[in-house]
Amino acid sequence: MSNFRMLLHRLIQQGDTVEIRDGRLVIIPASGQAVPEDWMKKHHDELVRQIVQLVGVPAYRYVSYSTGKYGNGFSGVTLQFVEIRTGYNPCAIFNVELTRSRNTRTGRKGDRLPKGRFRVTRGRNFYKFWLRTGLPIPNRLSVWHDYMGNLGQLLFEGTIDENDRFKKETLKPLEVSSEDIKAAILPHSSQTSSKQTPDSIQTIHPDNNLTQSHAHREFQRNSTAGTEKCGNKVIRENGYKADPTPPSTPPEDQTHEEWLADYCGEDSWRSSLIANGTEEI
């Protein structure tokens, strides 16, 4: 496939700005017009894969979480991720509390919380990780389980140790600048362009409908020093599907005119052809 046939290359060549900002794919059209929502949903995963392959960085998507009392009686929450190109499955493990902090109508202080629920302490590693995501913070630190699905909106990056675990302080939303993307596509003619107004920014969210699998594994108090691994074997077959339903006509099989019609709409597509001298007025 030629560079021009690649979807990402086409966007850059027509002057659009494409980047991954705070873990989200962002498109800023050169025309100032909004990109059709259906088009963005259809091409999100393809564009992200092209970006990370072109720039040479991995991108991880949240899959599920599990809680449990592990080695030496310490409690924690395990977050499972999948690398979107390879299917590699690292995890991140954080110490949290699994017992009630006070007496309530549903239980006494020190009782075990219902399955899947946990309490977070401000200033601990999980709380710091969540602050890095920029996602809403629960109004109560004991209802974090209701917010975990929001992690599926983001793509992540981080350093992984020999046990297939993220080093907690490095796990954060993925950043790939438009300048890095343009430099990789147009190494001899890359230009640094000023940011456009937020009104024209199109942000694409990955699919949030992620099946929650609960695989409990043991870890020690120092969660980077355990012997258990978080590799591919711990992900259930129904835990995550990386590829959405493909379009009826894949972009690589579309003609240039068909692709522009989908992206810009019929009127803008014709205007683009006229502006480029490929169609008579």
Whether 139 and 254 map to the same domain: the answer is no
How would you write the pLDDT of the chain (281 residues) with one tens digit per residue? 444 348 899 999 889 999 999 999 999 999 998 889 999 999 999 999 999 999 999 999 999 999 987 777 788 999 999 999 999 999 999 999 887 766 666 656 666 777 888 988 899 999 999 999 999 999 988 889 999 999 999 999 999 999 999 999 999 999 999 999 999 988 744 444 444 434 444 444 444 333 333 333 333 333 333 334 576 543 332 232 333 333 444 444 454 445 445 555 544 433 443 344 333 32
Range of the domain at 275: 246-281
- Same domain flag for 229 and 273: no
Q: Are residues 227 and 269 in the same domain?
A: no
Query: Is the same domain home to 185 and 270?
Result: no
Residues 142 and 261 in one domain: no
Number of domains in the chain: 2
Note whether 256 and 240 are same-domain residues. Answer: no
CB neighbour burial string for 215-246, b if at least 16 within 10 angstroms, e if fewer: bebebeeebeebebbbeeebbeeebbebeeee
pTM assigned to the model: 0.68
- Give the phi and the psi of residue 10 in degrees, each rounded to 5: -65, -45
Dihedral sign, Cα of residue 143, residue 214, residue 153, residue 155: positive
Asked if 129 and 21 sit in the same domain, the reply is yes
Same domain, 19 and 87: yes
Q: Are residues 177 and 110 in the same domain?
A: yes
Please indicate, yes or no, whether residues 150 and 182 belong to a single structural domain of this protein: yes
